[in-house]
Structure 1
């Protein structure tokens, strides 16, 4: 039975690695997968999902205007799609998350979405909020704070390593701009 899965965490928990492993498992069994990633995240290479472990795969790009359900339906008509996997799912719009539910409900294709739950101020991303509300399964991938506790939040830092407490919600970056922290350490820096 097809379901919509939301795998969420802070940075450095292995979301992209898990996504790529899941796609590999399908493909190893002769099944086709469709991979998507946000067009605004081009840290490694546009149109590619890359993990910090060095794994990578080509992916379709989505922007706020992409009709993912239409693209998947068209591809599924040409070659059956066994699974749709979405990286950087926090950047989806609410309408795109609804489209993911249509893929599951109407096409009977499982969708695995991977993303960060909250931004650098502890506020939920639009795509993540919709996925938390509408996904059939919620799976937290865990990573740790520098103190050893579970990291629940991500703090954005400036070029001197100081916590940033204002600015645009979306600013793509990696370890040079963001750090995963437990709630206690996040609050000490941001609140």
Structure 2
């Protein structure tokens, strides 16, 4: 039976690398996959790019207003014997698009592996992640560590090397004018840097 999988973790937990490995594993066994990501993720343009330096072009980009099931059907038509759909940066999907993923799994019988982060730099769930946590058949946390060695839970935002706790939910690292970067942190280190603030 096909399932909807949500594999999530803090930044630098290897989500894109795991997705590319999953695609490789399917293809090594002669099975076909489709790769997609939301177009708001401009890092890597039309590529899924791992911080380890591995990348691969996506088969299609997903705009915020897209009917994801219709978009999937359009691309599926050109791929014989499709084994699964892999989605990177799934936190940027709209809730209705996550609903489409469940329909792809249930109605079309195609497994969907969605990879993304759970919360933003203010510890709030992304809408796509919140819906995936509600609907996915399987949840798997990919782990990484904080600078102190504990398990990282949160993604702290730095602008010009300084921690910030206000701003838009989405700011793609390394592409903003003020050099936006992120650091994966445990709860203790995050609260220390934020002065106890969680949102």
TM over 0.5: yes
Q: 1:69 deviation in Å?
A: 0.9
Question: In the alignment, which residue of structure 2 is the partner of 1:179?
Answer: 183
Question: In the alignment, which residue of structure 2 is the partner of 1:188?
Answer: 192
Structure 2 gaps, min length 5: none
Question: In the alignment, which residue of structure 1 is the partner of 2:87?
Answer: 86
Task: Give the superposed CA RMSD.
Answer: 1.4
Q: 1:15 deviation in Å?
A: 0.2
TM-score (norm 1): 0.94
Question: In the alignment, which residue of structure 1 is the partner of 2:75?
Answer: 75
Question: Does the CA contact (< 8 Å) of 1:4 and 1:110 recur in 2?
Answer: yes
Q: How does 1:1-80 map to 2 (within 5 A)?
A: 1-44=1-44, 46-59=45-58, 60-78=60-78, 79-80=80-81
2:159 counterpart SS class: coil
2:82 counterpart SS class: coil
1:177 counterpart SS class: strand
Residues of 1 paired with 2:41 and 2:153: CA distance?
A: 22
Question: Does the CA contact (< 8 Å) of 1:94 and 1:127 recur in 2?
Answer: yes
Residues of 2 paired with 1:86 and 1:128: CA distance?
A: 12
Deviations 1:86-133 (A, max 9, x none): 000000000000000000001110000000100000000000000000
After superposing on structure 2, the runs of 4+ consecutive aligned residues of structure 1 that deviate more than 4 Å are: none
Structure 1 gaps, min length 5: none
Question: Does the CA contact (< 8 Å) of 1:75 and 1:81 recur in 2?
Answer: no
Mean Cα displacement is larger for which, 138-147 or 68-77? Answer: 68-77
Residues of 2 paired with 1:173 and 1:147: CA distance?
A: 22
Mean Cα displacement is larger for which, 161-170 or 102-111? Answer: 161-170
Mean Cα displacement is larger for which, 4-13 or 49-58? Answer: 49-58
- Figure out how many residues of one structure are paired with residues of the other and give that number: 189
Q: 1:80 deviation in Å?
A: 3.0
Q: 1:42 deviation in Å?
A: 2.1
Residues of 2 paired with 1:63 and 1:54: CA distance?
A: 25
Q: 1:26 deviation in Å?
A: 0.9
TM-score (norm 2): 0.91
